[in-house]
Amino acid sequence: NTPDPTAPSVPAVSSVLVDDIGSLATNDPALGPGQLGDVSDAALVVESGRVAWCGPRSQAPAADVRVDAAGRCLIPGFVDSHSHIVFAGDRSREFGDRMSGRPYEAGGIRTTVAATRAASDTDLLGTATRLLREARSQGTTTLEAKSGYGLSVADEERCLRAAARLTEETTFLGAHVVPPEYDGDPDAYVDLVTGPMLDACAPHARWIDVFCERGAFGEDRARRVLRAGRGRGLAPRVHGNQLGPGPGVRLAVEEGAASVDHCTHLTGADVAALADAASGGGPGTVATLLPGVDFSTRQPYPDARALLDAGVRVALATDCNPGSSFTSSMALCIALAVREAGMSPEEALRAATAGGAQALRRDDVGHLAVGARADMVLLEAPNPVYLAYRPGVPQVAAVWKDGELVAG
Ligand code: NIG
Ligand code: FE
């Protein structure tokens, strides 16, 4: 084909300069003062989907295209390391009842299991896609997604297939609760999870998770699940210490889990175990706090201050699911963590970005140092304190994933 000489020539964009950034949070303390590695009057250059340069505006190199941040704040995209977006059905009535005084129980999960089993693949993928878009438009650029509402071989597999269409961070949670058909025989259900269900699901998952809690799985069964998953190449993570003190945190640390999630009810020994794991030189086990759950189940909030002061690595995530936390807003989680869990605004932003990346054992996201994925959020705000300072107010002006504008 001969090129049409009348067509305007469109040069391939190879670099983009985001200029006049009032406040840039890089999460790389080597780049600026404070734990967010803040640079003021900053600029950032993206090339081939990665951060190629960042620093003071006055030193910015030339680029093909200039985006004007107009003095606003640029932060790394949120890394939401815990969600259950593959499901069907509605539990708003259960939430209403809870707010009228009924306690939260793990048993509500079965309501969603029944609806999920009855839903088509198209409907499951449709709901999950809508929630992913909803999260993305609010600044989430990495989202983990679990199975756990199928609880049969075929239903867990199709939930994971749907999740894998949307994210690389997929988690097999066949051990969410014991489904009704295994009532009274939890060991037979664990046999299924660690046998045929794992065989069907392992090819679609990166992680294995278990709900280690009263009403779900005790320590021994939970350990069996994690070890079976590891035997199939899935790395462990744990739901623990949500509804009361229990073995979840200790189990997670002993099994080398990347993260233990909820951590609402911790003993001093739990905090010490997490701190020991963090100081051991390895990746340790991140404590992932899910304040949307504590909000939506009227639980006390976790003591993030005690964890941070002990040297524990902390992440924040939404746990987006129809039962215990039907929010996809990382900004809400930040505001709750600041107001209710004792975190500073800087600690909360770090936990929602770099912390989530650590919980997923990723070093390419959660920060904006040179070489990181250009996953970035421009806030309609002069600095990141505004995320907690203006709770409930939409403040996301633009979102880039791998350097591509995906919202705004
Ligand atoms: O992470 N804790 C267990 N599972 C979910 C809740 C699921 C539900 O209530 O449907 C959670 O909170
Ligand atoms: Fe969860």
| Assigned domain for 189 exists | yes
Q: Where are the beta strands (DSSP E) in 101-203?
A: 140-143, 145-146, 170-175
Average pLDDT over the chain reads: 95
Q: Which residues contact 349 (CB under 8 A, 6 or more apart)?
A: 25, 36, 75, 334, 384, 387
If pLDDT is split at 50, 70 and 90, which confidence band does 103 have?
Answer: confident
pLDDT at 9 over 60: no
Q: Which residue's alpha carbon is nearest to atom 9 within ligand 1? A: 323
Q: Is 241 annotated in some ligand binding site? A: no
Give residue 2's pLDDT band: very low, low, confident or very high (50, 70, 90). very low
Query: Per-residue pLDDT averaged across 136-159, rounded?
Result: 98
Count of domains forming the chain: 2
Same domain, 25 and 110: no
Tell me which of 93, 321, 327, 333 to substitute to probe ligand 1's pocket, judged by most ligand atoms within 8 Å of the beta carbon.
Answer: 321
DSSP assignment letter at 313: -
Q: Report the distance separating Cα 129 and Cα 276, nearest Å.
A: 39
Give one word for 313, left, alpha or beta, with left for phi > 0 and alpha for psi -120 to 50.
Answer: beta
- Report the alpha-carbon distance of residue 118 to residue 309 in Å, rounded: 47
Residue 271 has pLDDT above 70, yes or no: yes
DSSP state of 325: B
Residue 25 lies in a domain: yes
Residues 336 and 387 in one domain: no
CA-closest candidate to residue 352, choices 81, 96, 61: 81
In a domain, 64, yes or no: yes
Same domain? For 165 and 28 the reply is no
Q: Of 359, 376, 391, which closes a domain?
A: 359
CATH code (residue 72): 2.30.40.10
**DSSP 8-state symbol, 202:** G
The answer to whether residue 72 scores a pLDDT higher than 70 is: yes
- What are residue 157's DSSP bridge partners? none
CA distance 288 to 38: 24
Ligand sitting nearest the alpha carbon of 293? 1
Structural domain contains residue 10? no
Residues 352 and 388 reside in one and the same domain: no
Round to whole Å and give the CA distance between 366 and 17. Answer: 20
173: which residues sit within 8 A by CB, 6+ positions away? 84, 146, 147, 148, 208, 209, 210, 211, 239
Q: Is residue 301 part of a domain?
A: yes
Q: Are 339 and 304 in contact (CB under 8 A)?
A: no
- Name which of 362, 334, 333 is nearest 349 in CA terms: 334
Q: Taking ligand 2, which is a single-atom ion, which protein residues have CB atoms under 5 Å away?
A: 319
Q: Are residues 72 and 88 in the same domain?
A: no
Contact 186, 220 (CB under 8 A): no
What is the distance between the terminal CA atoms of the chain, rounded to a whole angstrom? 37
- The per-residue pLDDT for range 228-266, each reduced to its tens digit, is 999 999 999 999 999 999 999 999 999 999 999 999 999
* Residue 24 and residue 368 in contact, taking contact as beta carbons nearer than 8 Å: yes
What residues flank ligand 1, with Cβ below 6 Å? 108-109, 112, 211, 239, 242, 293, 319, 321, 323-324
Is 324 annotated as ligand-binding?
yes
Same domain, 39 and 181: no
In a domain, 8, yes or no: no
| 384 and 257, same domain (yes or no) | no
Task: Please tell me whether residues 227 and 372 are part of one structural domain.
Answer: no
Residue 141: φ, ψ to 5°: -110, -15
Tens-digit pLDDT profile for residues 186-227 = 999 999 999 999 999 999 999 999 999 999 999 999 999 999
Please give the pLDDT value at position 262: 98
In angstroms, the Cα distances linking 21 to 75, 79, 219, 365, 376 are 10, 21, 49, 20, 12
Count helices and strands in the chain by DSSP H and E runs: 15, 17
Whether 90 is covered by a domain: the verdict is: yes
**Segments forming the whole domain that contains residue 57:** 15-77+367-407
Which of 342, 359, 376 delimits the end of a domain? 359
* Bridge partner list, 286: 259
CATH number at residue 273: 3.20.20.140
Same domain for 334 and 282, yes or no, is yes
Task: Name the residue of 81, 84, 85, 95 to mutate for ligand 1: max ligand atoms within 8 A of Cβ.
Answer: 84
Report yes or no for ipTM above 0.85.
yes
219, 243: one domain: yes
Bridge partner residues of 140 (DSSP) = 78
Relative to the CA of 262, which ligand 1 atom is closest?
1
Q: Are residues 30 and 108 in the same domain?
A: no
The pLDDT value given to residue 97? 93
Pair (140, 277) in one structural domain? yes
Determine the distance separating the centroid of ligand 2 and the alpha carbon of 218, expressed in angstroms.
16
Q: Which ligand is nearest to the CA of 87?
A: 1
- Residue closest by Cα to atom 1 of ligand 1: 319
**How many other CB atoms are there within 10 angstroms of residue 379's CB atom?**
24
274 belongs to a structural domain: yes
Report yes or no on whether pTM surpasses 0.90: yes
d(CA 329, CA 166): 18
